[in-house]
């Protein structure tokens, strides 16, 4: 099939690479406009960089539904595919390709609609997630479900590791679905159950702050869900301390209070249970083990993180 691919970040690259290697023809890529990076240097999206390398025409619009209709019609594609594109599409655009527009979403819809489904599934303690191939509709992640694949979240996964796993799974699932679609064997679309829907927004830097009044399980899930960005952090006095790794352990006390110190880590009481912090980073310093952190920072049992 002739396909227009719409995507922007690294997560979308898994799907685009899989389509390029398939027997389908990518007639164009649409991605977000270039943005200024460090020191004012213009930064291309990962999708644009790859498309240029592959010789695929690239289109960029600040408002695709206002600026891109004529261009997209002229491409005469059979299908549009979107993966983390970053803009809502109007009905006028949705109606252009004969096979419509399909989206690869990194959750088992209708749960975890929105722009950060991988992170929020981990933060909320899910042990199973997956990808959904969805028919794009005018709402945000509200279209019919076309195809799904599940994936386990293991206790040591964080948002970074699940990003890679779900990116690869989404790419494979997309290609599988397109084969079924072309052969006439695709399953019938299934409307989403709105009563089961949940929506979570894009993470902010402030979402990385730890609330020690939560249970140890919840705090650790939060740490995993915000790794690598925005990263988990807490305060000791007026200094920020980043927490890179922690493990569940026995212990109790006032939330945020240090209840034990040893070479294995810094044990901090939570609202229920405790966590042993094993890898930390003091403000302005490099990442280090708890043992090295204690050598360079005066901490005592009874000190409190807030």
| In contact, 36 and 44? CB cutoff 8 Å | no
Domain boundaries, position 244: 205-296
> Quick one: 49 and 133 in the same domain?
yes
Q: Which residue's entry shows tokens 């040893």?
A: 262
The pLDDT value given to residue 269: 98
**Of 157, 176, 196, at which residue does a domain stop?**
196
> Quick one: 98 and 225 in the same domain?
no
| In contact, 267 and 276? CB cutoff 8 Å | yes
| In contact, 2 and 38? CB cutoff 8 Å | no
**Domain total in the chain:** 2
**Of 144, 168, 196, at which residue does a domain stop?**
196
CATH assignment at residue 80: 3.40.50.170
CA atoms of 243 and 223, how far apart (whole Å): 8
Q: How much is the CA Rg of the chain, to the nearest whole Å?
A: 22
Residues in the chain predicted with pLDDT less than 50, given as ranges, are none
Report strand pairing: 128-135 vs 101-105: antiparallel
The pLDDT value given to residue 37: 79
* Residue 94 within any structural domain of the chain: yes
Q: Which two tokens stand for residue 263?
A: 């070479």
The pLDDT value given to residue 228: 97
> Quick one: 44 and 87 in the same domain?
yes
The pLDDT value given to residue 39: 75
| In contact, 293 and 241? CB cutoff 8 Å | no
* Residue 304 within any structural domain of the chain: no
Q: Which residue's entry shows tokens 């007026």?
A: 238
* Residue 263 within any structural domain of the chain: yes
CA atoms of 243 and 267, how far apart (whole Å): 13
Per-residue model confidence as pLDDT tens digits over 205-255: 999 999 999 999 999 999 999 999 999 999 999 999 999 999 999 999 999
């Amino acid at each position: 099939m002739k396909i227009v691919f719409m995507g922007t970040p690294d997560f979308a690259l898994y799907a685009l690479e899989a389509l390029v290697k398939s027997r389908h023809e990518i007639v164009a890529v649409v991605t977000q406009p270039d943005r200024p990076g460090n020191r004012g240097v213009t930064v291309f999206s990962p999708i644009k960089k790859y498309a240029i390398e592959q010789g695929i025409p690239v289109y960029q619009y600040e408002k695709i539904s206002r600026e891109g209709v004529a261009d997209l019609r002229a491409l005469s594609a059979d299908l549009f595919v979107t993966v983390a594109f970053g803009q809502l599409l109007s009905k006028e655009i949705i109606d252009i390709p004969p096979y419509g527009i399909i989206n690869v979403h990194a959750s088992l819809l209708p749960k975890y609609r929105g722009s950060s489904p991988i992170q929020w599934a981990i933060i909320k303690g899910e042990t199973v997630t997956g990808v959904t191939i969805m028919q794009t509709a005018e709402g945000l992640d509200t279209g019919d479900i076309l195809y799904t694949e599940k994936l386990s979240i293991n206790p040591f996964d964080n948002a970074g590791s699940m990003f890679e796993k779900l990116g690869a799974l989404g790419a494979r699932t997309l290609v599988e679905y397109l084969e079924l679609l072309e052969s006439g064997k695709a399953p019938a679309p299934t409307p989403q159950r709105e009563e089961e829907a949940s929506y979570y927004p894009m993470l902010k830097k402030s979402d990385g702050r730890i609330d020690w009044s939560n249970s140890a399980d919840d705090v650790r899930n939060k740490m995993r869900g915000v790794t690598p960005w925005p990263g988990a952090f807490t305060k000791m006095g007026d200094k920020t301390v980043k927490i890179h790794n922690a493990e569940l352990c026995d212990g109790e006390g006032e939330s945020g209070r240090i209840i034990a110190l040893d070479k294995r880590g810094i044990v901090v009481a939570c609202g229920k249970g405790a966590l042993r912090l094993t890898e930390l980073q003091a403000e302005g310093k490099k990442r280090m083990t708890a043992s090295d952190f204690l050598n360079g920072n005066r901490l005592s049992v009874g000190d409190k993180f807030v």
